Structure 1
Amino acid sequence: MELRSALNAAFALLGVFMVFATPSRAAEEPIRIAVEGKFPPFNYLDANGELQGFDIDIAEALCASMKAECTLMVQDWDEMIPGLIDQQYDAIVSSMSMSDERRETAAFTQRYYDSPSNFITAKDSGLRSFTPEDLAGRRLGVTLSTSQLAYVQDNYAKSEIVVFGSSPELYDGLADGEVDVILEDKLAAFDWLNNTRAGECCEFRGEDIKEAQYFGDGAGIAVRKDDPDLLAR
């Protein structure tokens, strides 16, 4: 699934996101939307420090459709859900997969795109199979507070799990040989593999991974369960 196709599908679903469009919300304070800013091509800071990417396009199109004022806020990924619960912002538009664990603490819209996870390793790596036995003793990289981390912790206990603070750090770790293999969102990694010089080192291997327990049924917009305005339909 190409990123442009995902973008077109997401805009076609904007009607679903009118979850935000209650008159009281539009007439009051701006909607505060959290994004990570470290997950290209979905959300990232450009050379001028401006937020760009797929999630930013979705958030801005949503706000324009509602004729609502919105404020985008950069938030570290591992504090995303806690910050939402603490009312530091009103919604998360940051390619957040709707896992069972996250649904326990936050409410979600319908998905606006779906992407599997995939193993990635160096092109000259001998790894061809990625069962827990195949990766026993191998250095397996994932990003902090992600569905991929939860998945490998439960299924790859015999691997040496190496946790990175962000996706760019994860990619650098693989390119620099700090880990043998990484598990990452396929669309995000596709951009790195195909559009950066560093990504030329590596390639996808193995089958797509889409276990609903960990990855839900795609990415959705997260809101607080107890926010009546944002949850009104």
Structure 2
Amino acid sequence: MGFIKQITAIAAVSIIGLSASMVGASAADKIRIGTEGAYPPFNNLTSDGQLVGFDIDIAKALCEEMKAECEFVTQDWDGMIPALIANKFDAVIASMSITEERLQKVDFTNKYYNTPPAIAVPKDSEIAGVTPADLDGVALGAQSSTTHSNYAEAKFPGADIKLYPTADEYKLDIINGRLGAVIDDVVVLSEWIDSADGACCKILGTLTPDPVINGAGAGIAIRKGSDELKAKFNAAIDAIRANGTYKEINDKYFKFDVYGS
């Protein structure tokens, strides 16, 4: 009986070990994705708490292509990179531009879209153009810790730059007459002015991206050393571009290919 019990115990341990390894493999295929949920049409939280937008649909398509289980974690923009480094999630899909400054802290996949910045102003604005001279002395709003705020600070030294935690907050201030202009992605601004909330304003013009400030497009941020995850994401981006899934998502939101050149 003792020998049989010993064999049974060994078998039980083996089964537990196998189950543990299977759970580990399953857990390895689960990817936690950080996003903001406050940057329409790329990512936004609906009134009932659902995440929607281009970033979200792209993330879901990439996860399906990789056959990985994914879950979303919402995070304020200012804390996005620190939260990634602290392992709150495994990747950031939140319209984060690939810049040299960010590459010092995290790694990136290849881009999954690339659109230029733009300036929007009230419809009755007397501002004539988007040169530094045009915006000299103008209260210019931007979301903080973004390539757009960096661009404003570098290119419009004469402007009175006002920084906001979210895009919604600068939009509210220009609606209420506290700003003379705002800077953001042309798609974000276009989507907004086409809505009832953005009826106050118009696109004054697009800006020529600065490769150092604006980077090489929006990519997926991951922790340093996550080479296998980076390779999987890059392969999945290529795959959805090739099989038509990317175009289907693109056309749901935009009238042009946001992938860029």
Give the TM interval when normalised to the shorter protein. Answer: 0.7 to 0.9
Aligned to 2:167: 167
Aligned to 1:210: 209
The within-5 A match list for 1:1-233 is 28=28, 30-194=30-194, 196-232=195-231
TM-superposed CA distance for 1:228, in Å, is 3.8
TM-superposed CA distance for 1:170, in Å, is 1.6
Runs of 4+ with deviation above 4 angstroms:
24-27
Change (3 A) 1:96 1:135: same
Amino acid at match of 2:111: R
Amino acid at match of 1:223: I
CA distance, structure 1, for counterparts of residue 224 and residue 46 of structure 2: 33
CA distance, structure 1, for counterparts of residue 155 and residue 25 of structure 2: 43
Is 2:29–2:68's contact at 8 Å kept on the other side of the alignment? no
Change (3 A) 1:25 1:165: farther
Taking structure 1 as the reference length, what is the TM-score of the superposition? 0.84
Change (3 A) 1:52 1:112: same
Amino acid at match of 2:43: N
- Output one character per residue of 1:83-113: Cα deviation in whole Å (capped at 9) or x when no partner: 1111111100001111221122121111111
Aligned length: 209
Is 1:26–1:66's contact at 8 Å kept on the other side of the alignment? no
Identical amino acids, percent of aligned pairs = 39
CA distance, structure 2, for counterparts of residue 124 and residue 47 of structure 1: 32
Q: Which shows bigger deviation, 53-62 or 147-156?
A: 147-156
Q: Which shows bigger deviation, 221-230 or 138-147?
A: 221-230
Change (3 A) 1:36 1:74: same
TM-superposed CA distance for 1:161, in Å, is 0.8
Which has the bigger relative contact order, CA under 8 A and spacing at least 6? 1
- Output one character per residue of 1:192-214: Cα deviation in whole Å (capped at 9) or x when no partner: 111x2121111111343311111
Cα RMSD of the aligned pairs, angstroms, is 1.7
CA distance, structure 1, for counterparts of residue 25 and residue 130 of structure 2: 48
User: Which of structures 1 and 2 has the bigger CA Rg?
Assistant: 2
